[in-house]
A and B are shown apart, each in its own frame.
Chain A
Amino acid sequence: MLLETAILAGLLFGFGIYQVLQRSFVRILIGFVLLSNGANLVILAMSGDPKGKDSPILAEGTGPHVDPLPQALILTAIVIGFGLLSYMVVLLYRIFLDYRTTNAADLFEEPLKEAKPEEPH
């Protein structure tokens, strides 16, 4: 169970970084979604193997409980990740409106032809 979780988290991080490094804005956004899910999965894995454990609700006759702290951490992290992502969507949309492109490489292309007349000598 833990090994599968580790592999899945690794894949999410790998694909996430790959997508963030792409040029298209949509791919970059998807990359961040993958990255934040990967990070949340890592936190979840820290509560250990859930096999044979009850959910962390203290009641009569329940056995050993799953560690509840990572779940609380994930809840916070999801909210923060969501806020970050929504800000990013708005920023990229504003850049799209200003530059009429969804390609990150176009943004930072040096305008070589315009730069030359500025230097008279």
Chain B
Amino acid sequence: MNLVAMPILLPLLTAIAALLLRADTLRRGIVIASCAFQVIVALALVILTARQGPIALSIGDWAPPFGIVLVADLLSSIMVALAGIISLASIVYGYLELPCRLEHPLRIPLTQFLMVGLCQSFLTGDLFNLFVAFEVMLICSYALLTLEADDWDIKQAFPYLAINAVGSMIFLAAVAFAYGIFGTLNFAEISQRAAGMSDDPRVLILAVLLLGVFGIKAGLFPLYFWLPNSYPILSTPLAALFGGMLTKVGVYVLLRVFGTVLPQDLSGLHTVLAWLGGVTMLLGVIGAVSRNFVRGILSFHILSQIGYMVLAIGFFSPYAIAAAIFYNIHNNLVKSSLFLVGGTISLLNGTDDLKRSANLWRATPLLGVAFLLLGLSLAGLPPLSGFWGKLMIVQDGLRQGEYVLIFVALFTSIFTLLSMMKIWNASFWTQDASVPVRIHDRRWIGLTAVTCTMALLTVAVTIFAGPLIELSHQASEEIFKRETYIRAVLQLKADRGGVVDQAVSVPFEAVSDPIDGTSNPWLPEVAR
């Protein structure tokens, strides 16, 4: 089904077109039309996968073990749809913020190439292709981070680049190990062959390597320091895109790799994952309370929200995974909208330093209402969307008896509320005659309109929480059961006349060298 390739091809074509065209209103129109179309395609994909189950496509009609497969299951299509919505909002916001002649001409092409990498990492069904998609995404993110950075800020890009580059090299080595152990890089086939190998030390080492790598990309506990320093140097629309989607890719891949690919009884590693999530959320929220400017606070909050999702993945029950997916839907929208609110605050007050901002409630109550909705939703106050995700995570934690972690999670929520109220008090509620509000700068009307639309979208998530939670349950079932995913991929192989593995797993000794017949665990099976 060729629709699966569309979310990758559309931004690619848009990026190339944007490189060739001059940066004027015509280009803006084309880009917005394309982004809107990407959202429609992604939503169609969600509806289709929700009805039919996973859809697989072999690129260039090469059969799965040698060719690359794209697989859209419900989780990937939900993520693609979220990425589309957030990129549309961020591009519209960027257009309203800066006139054509002030905008950097490379910003739009790079954002679209970033979307190529994002959608490819969501849709790919192949471990090496995942590496390539990560690199496409990361190289664009390095470029966007430094594109408009000034001389003082540019140093913050270096730790981001360094930690991610080391992570990529370890990822590459882990891909090689996976090929060595399983003789394939296809998710579905690895999943089949790994099913009975959970007590094999090599699988455990591979799992730990992958956990480390994706932990770096997601901003998990020991290696998170690069994130809260590098994101604030981005301009507002890009910060919304990065904060909303980029670290969530790490969460998505953790879900995919631990849910669909690796054996499901690695319970020790899942416990480690849960605790890493707990520590990350605690340190993230403490960092957020310590910061005094809006983007800094929000960047630290990314960490604490990542902590929530990873905690849910660590609990590793169908219910918890569904909670993680729903939380992801809620958080991507809320987080990027909050970055947009932060940008509007700094436009109106001329700064996003909380000490020098005030008077906004009187100037623009609508923005205040949007901020309150988003901030309280992030903290998880009922009945807003954040509450339902947190409720599900807490319920599952209590069922599993993880009282310490649940305590940490609730504690984090209170501190989230505290730091949101800090922004509210300083920017909106305080009255200070010495602080000017630049209400004559008419751009704020458009920016507030975009922000309010996003806020309305999160209200919609609240209202339709029921159906969305059901959708998350369906996606988590798909991850847990695996059969539909594997069948969709192997069907492609069978169509091309390939031999489909019937055995669930390959025992340790089965891989032997054809030359001298001795057991050689390093030799992949496909070689023969």
Contact = CB atoms under 8 A, between A and B. Distances in A.
Interface string B169-193: 1101101110110000000000000
A43 B169 contact: no
B270 to A, nearest CB: 27
A64 B142 contact: no
Interface string B145-163: 0100001101101100110
A69 B168 CA distance: 20
Nearest to B142: A87
B132 A80 contact: yes
B132 A83 contact: no
B154 A94 contact: yes
Nearest to B149: A94
Nearest to B511: A48
A99 B155 contact: yes
Task: Enumerate the 5 nearest inter-chain pairs by beta-carbon distance, A residue then B residue, closest first.
Answer: A67-B527, A48-B523, A39-B172, A43-B176, A98-B151
Contacts of B170: 39
A48 B162 contact: no
B179 A51 contact: no
Contacts of A67: 524, 526-527
A46 B158 contact: no
B143 interface: yes
A64 B158 contact: no
Interface in B107-143: 128, 131-132, 135, 139, 142-143
B399 interface: no
B117 to A, nearest CB: 12
Contacts of B523: 48-49
14 contacts: A40-B172, A42-B172, A43-B172, A43-B173, A43-B175, A45-B522, A46-B176, A46-B522, A49-B522, A69-B526, A70-B176, A91-B158, A92-B158, A98-B151
Interface of B: 66, 128, 131-132, 135, 139, 142-143, 146, 151-152, 154-155, 157-158, 161-162, 165-166, 168-170, 172-173, 175-177, 179-180, 513-515, 520, 522-524, 526-528
B524 A107 contact: no
Contact of B157 (A35, A69, A83, A91): A91
A33 to B, nearest CB: 11
A94 B176 contact: no
B173 A20 contact: no
Interface size class of A (residues with CB under 8 A): 35 or more
B135 A80 contact: yes
B193 to A, nearest CB: 15
B268 to A, nearest CB: 25
Contact of B146 (A20, A46, A94): A94
Contact of A84 (B135, B515, B522, B526): B135
Q: Is the interface of B mostly helix, strand, loop or mixed?
A: helix
B176 A39 contact: yes
A45 B515 contact: no
Contacts of A70: 176, 179
Nearest to A53: B515
Contact of A42 (B173, B515, B526): B173
Which secondary structure dominates chain A's binding surface? helix
A20 B154 contact: no
Given A69-B179, A83-B139, A84-B135, A2 B522 contact: yes
Interface of A: 2, 9, 13, 16-17, 20, 28, 32, 35-36, 38-40, 42-43, 45-49, 51-53, 64-67, 69-70, 73, 76-77, 80-81, 83-84, 87-88, 91-92, 94-95, 98-99, 104, 107-108
A20 B139 contact: no
A73 B168 contact: no
A51 B515 contact: yes
A64 B515 contact: yes
A17 B166 contact: yes
Contact of A64 (B161, B514, B526): B514
Given A80-B132, A91-B142, A48 B158 contact: no
Nearest to A101: B155
A41 to B, nearest CB: 9
Nearest to B525: A67
Given A28-B162, A92-B158, A64 B128 contact: no
Contacts of B168: 80, 84
Nearest to A37: B169
* Residue from B143, B157, B158, B170 having most chain A Cβ neighbours under 10 A: B158
Nearest to A34: B169
Contacts of B151: 98
A20 B527 contact: no
Contact of A46 (B155, B162, B524, B528): B524
Contacts of B175: 43, 73
A28 B169 CA distance: 14
A2 B527 CA distance: 16
A39 B168 CA distance: 10
A41 B361 CA distance: 60
